[in-house]
Amino acid sequence: MELVEDNTTTYKDRFTHPGGPPIHTKRVSRWDKKLQDILPNIPSHIPPDLDEKYWDALAVRIRYEELQYAIGAHRLGLDTGRDRSPSPPKQYDQNQQVITREMRRDEKLKTERLYVVDRAIEIYPEFRIPAELAKPSGKRHRKVFFPKDKPDTNFIGLIIGPRGNNQKELEKQTGARICIRGKDPKKMGKLSNLPGDDENEESHVLITADTQESLDMAYDKIMNLIYGSSNAINLIKQTQLRALAKYNGTFREDKVYEVEEAYDSGVKCAICGELSHATIDCPLKNKKDNDLFKKYDPIFDQFYERVKPYFV
């Protein structure tokens, strides 16, 4: 079979089979999306003398444009066979699937886009966050479950602190939001009235932050607070009890008595020669008096023998 070009026919009938029906061919356009191998906003020429910082910035920019294009054009790459994780159980609401593969993939790409934006800010602090990401809806969160081998320890009170001040201080230091979620094993009820997927889980701490650095900082502090040594936990409890007593007005400070400095008065005992006491306070005073009276015993005996006949 051979194609014969006929210049006398129209464009649609230009290529025909000998004696057969015309073959309709599609006109190729340079703006066809199938032929686009490059992304917009990506330079096609890269100077060879770039340092490592600019290479990192360029890699972040390319990945950001790829994510923007994938999310905007809804090309989620579900048929590529890569980056596939085990699918969770399907959830249905009124016989309709609530969470689909497309939704999970879209959420994963948006989370990665937030990470790329944070990386771009680290490399170039003057990076302007796009308008759609100025107030990101997706935040990073992490859970820390309470240990079950310490049922006598009140971890909830340990984290919240007196009147919630310890929780507020942790949030102020880390910039993350710290909440208690799950079921209370002692009261068999929910620790929070807010609806969520974690209301049926064990009691735990939910950490929510905008940046990964803030999330890691809060996670380390919570881990040190919950899984710390017994001495550290007891010290924190004592500090919180003192703070609670101050709030309630029942705190009493321990009085510290200061001992006055002792000055040398130059007093010396005439009996023992010590400088620590006077002669009248000497413990050897009675012994010295006895020795003194013993010297006069013979004289008293002679006197008694002379006067004895007069008293008989």
Domain 140-248 falls in which CATH fold?
Ribosomal Protein S8; Chain: A, domain 1 (3.30.1370)
Per-residue pLDDT tens, the chain, 312 aa: give them: 444 444 444 444 444 445 555 555 566 666 665 545 556 666 677 777 778 888 888 888 888 888 887 877 766 665 555 555 555 566 655 666 555 667 777 778 888 888 888 888 888 777 777 766 655 445 788 888 888 877 777 888 888 888 888 888 889 888 899 988 887 655 544 455 444 545 567 888 889 888 888 888 998 888 888 887 777 777 877 787 887 777 777 767 666 656 666 566 677 787 777 777 787 888 777 765 556 556 667 777 777 777 666 665
- Could you tell me how many residues make up the chain? 312
Q: For the chain, which residues make up each domain, given as ranges?
A: 52-133, 140-248
How many Å is the Cα radius of gyration of the chain? 46
Q: Which two tokens stand for residue 38?
A: 């490059």
Give the integer Cα–Cα distance in Å for 67 and 41: 13
DSSP codes of every residue in 32-63: -GGG--S-TT--S---TT--HHHHHHHHHHHH
- Contacts (Cβ under 8 Å, ≥6 apart) of 12: 22, 24
Residue entry with tokens 């057969």: 20
